[in-house]
Every structure is written in C-alpha cells, then in structure tokens.
Amino acid sequence: MSVPNSARPELVEGLPFAGLSRGKEGQGFDMLSPNGFRNQFPGLAGNWHYLDTAATAQKPQVVLDAMTQAGGADYATVHRGVYARSANMTLAYEAARRRVASFIGGREEEIVFVRGATEAINLVARSFPACGEKPRRVLLSQLEHHSNIVPWQLAGWQIDVCPLTADGRIDLDAAEAMLSSDFDMIALAHVSNVLGSVLDVSRAVALAKKVGASLLLDGCQAVPRLPVDVAAMGCDFYVFSGHKLYGPTGIGALWGKKGLLDAMPPWQGGGSMIDRVTFEKTTYAPAPTRFEAGTPAIIEAIGLAAAINYVAAIGIEAIHAHEAALVKATRDALRSNNAITLFGPEDAAGIVSFAMQGVHPHDVGTILDEEGVAIRAGHHCAQPLMDHLGVPATARASFGLYSTEDDVAALVRGLERVKRIFAQ
C-alpha cells in the first residue's frame, strides 16, 4: 500500500510506540538488581513469590505502556487505510514482524502472526501438503505438550512416539532407530514445559534430513531463555507464544522456510489473505499473508515487539545463566527434603518439577499459596508424560528473569510446612 506523506518517518525502520526503543542489547544483570527487575513488573507488587513463569510470564511496564499507546492515541486498523494513522499503524505492525524475525534469526516474509504456538501447530498440521494417498506420518515424543499432540490427531496424521532417556530427555538414539522415509514430519519440544530438558537440536535436524522429513520445533519454553537462530539451526518450522516471552496473550509466531510456506494452502479464509475473490473462484495472497485471515492482533503484535526489545536489552545469555543458577539452588535445596522426588535432568532450563510423597500436588500448591508462593500443580497439559512418569500430576516451579533467591527460599520454607502438615 502507499504511505501518505504525513506518516511519521521513524515508523519505517523503528517501532514507534512508547516502550519500543531497542536501546543497547545484552546489558545483562549488571544493569539492575533482580529486585530492580521485579519493580518493572506491576504483577509482582508486594511480597509475592511468582514461580509459574512457564505457564505465563508477568509483563513489564514497558510492554503495558506500548500496548496502551497502540490501543489509544495511535490506534487504527492496518493494511487498509490510506489515512496517516492507519499507515503509521501498518508500518508499526510490520516492524513488529521484522523484530520477531530478527529475534529468532529468520526473515520477515517467513513470519506468520498467530494467536500462539497452539494455532501455529494446528496451521502446519492442517496445511502441510499431503504426500500421495498414504496418511501423513509424524514422530512426536513422550514429553510433548497437548498442543503438539492433538492438532496432529485432528488433522488425521499417523503418530509415532519416541521414548525418553532415564533423565527425561528425548531419546534421539531411539528416534533414529524408528525413523524412515515414511515420515513426513518430526515435531518436538525445544525445551520441555514439565521437565525443562533441552533438545539436541543439531542432531534432531540431522535425523530429519536423513529421512527427508520436515522438523517442527515447539519453542515456547526456549525463546525466553535460550538463543534461537532458526537459519543456523536448520529446522523447517519454529513456533512460540508471546505470553511466555513477557509479552501479551493472543499473539505468537510461526516461522517456516519460505519454500514450505509457499507450498501450503491457507487453512482459514476471510479478509486480507486474498488476491482476488469471485463467487466462482478465489485466489490467495502469498505467504505469510495467506495465513493471516481477518483483522490481526495489532496491539498484541506491538506488545510482543516491546517484550522482545526488553528481553534483548537484558540479554538471553544473561537470563539463562540467572535462571540456571536458580534451578541449581532449588534442586540442591529440595534434595535435602526426603519426601520430595525430583523429575528431569540436572541442567533443566528454567523449570523444576517434583512430587511430595503422600501429598497431591494440588494440596502442595494450595498450601504454598497460603505462604505467598505461586507454583503450577497438575498434569501441565502433558498427560502422556505423566503416564510415563507414573504420577497423576507434578508440582512445578518455573523461573523468569525477575525471579530471585528469595523466591527459592520461600518455596523451600513452604515445602517444609507442607511436609510438617502431612506428617501430623
């Protein structure tokens, strides 16, 4: 579309709304103390120990400000208006797409905005080209989130399941033995949302290439804490949700290799995704537009870009190192409680899952809440993994860039109280 002369020029390369200044990247934890980070998150006000970041991250004020500005004084729809404010918003929306692309090492024409990783996987499962008459075949693992299981079932794929190693990693030796040229797709979690185990991506890519399958990675738990470069990794699809990356709900991204996206038909119809519509025939816009039917999540895309800038200014490596120290401290402390069983590998990324003997995780979570500690308790949308572990549910503490040693200490104290209550 043409851009009116009155459109603000800084919108073309920058992100115009409040809080979207990229600033200096990778400043790390020297820029502020952990408590200083907490003070930037309105949801962490008071003496509250939030250990449920793997479910959803709290939002920094800079993200909230960016969304308020985008939804207020600067608001207009995108891609359609010829007036200046619509042009400005269109430029900002597409700048957000570029920011997402640069954050994960892709190109803007390879980024599809979606509601989250769940929608992204559904899109691929529905639109990935069929191969002849045979059912499409996908290899998953025992630790996958339901959002990386159910979409393949609904789309009629034949599912094979790779087992785990003793410490809770995807067993790629077993995967290699299972794979053949019959497989069209391998879809695996980059980081487990329950165990925190990190996939050996380079080997997974090699296995996919060996049998001619495409590789989709669920990056929901990876992008907030691990460097991601999709071009360097060599995967074919990568998905993540904004709300786990300190951004808003209702927005996420599907990255796909351009050739694959171009070969995939749209899975939803409506405005924006078309080239030409008649009652007899419709032709579609090129990717990624063909996958973005209807008015998009404009404000949420702006918020996601603001969140990415915030995280990048701190530095992913610094965030990962900070969380790794907290995971180690938590696991070391919980080992001294003989009623607790720990799950997952020692080097879990940002997550500690556990069970307490004779106490249901829901009771653990309820008592911890009385102590001002918020954890997740349940099957974590990973019921097949619970079956594998032989438990109905686990308790899960998960960390973010704002988590502190005080949070770990509060968790440990709370679990001691749980133990005393149930010992009576």
For residue 18, pLDDT beyond 80: no
What local confidence, expressed as pLDDT, does residue 8 receive? 40
Nearest to 389 by CA among 194, 114, 113, 186: 194
Question: Left, alpha or beta for 23 (phi > 0: left; psi -120 to 50: alpha)?
Answer: left
User: What three-state secondary structure class fits 379?
Assistant: coil
- Report the pLDDT averaged over residues 51-67: 98
% of the chain exceeding 70 in pLDDT: 91
185-207 pLDDT, tens digit per residue, is 999 999 999 999 999 999 999 99
Q: Please, are residues 274 and 285 in contact by the beta-carbon 8 Å criterion?
A: yes
What the chain holds in terms of domains, given with CATH numbers, is: 84-312 (3.40.640.10), 316-423 (3.90.1150.10)
List phi, psi (to 5°) of 132. 70, -150
- In our burial notation (b when 16+ CB lie closer than 10 A, e otherwise), range 42-74 reads ebbeeeebbbbbbbebbbbebbbbbbbbbeeeb
Q: Which residues pair with 207 in a beta bridge?
A: none
Q: At what angle do helices 316-335 and 405-423 cross, to 10 degrees?
A: 30
According to DSSP, residue 343 is labeled E
Active site residue 381: yes
Beta strands 185-189 and 158-162 are: unpaired
Type and span of the H or E element at 175: helix 172-178
For residue 293, pLDDT beyond 80: yes
Q: What is the mean pLDDT of the chain?
A: 92
For residue 32, pLDDT beyond 70: no
Which tops the pLDDT comparison, 20 or 233?
Answer: 233
For residue 27, pLDDT beyond 70: no
What local confidence, expressed as pLDDT, does residue 23 receive? 42
Q: Which residue has the tokens 């191969």?
A: 131
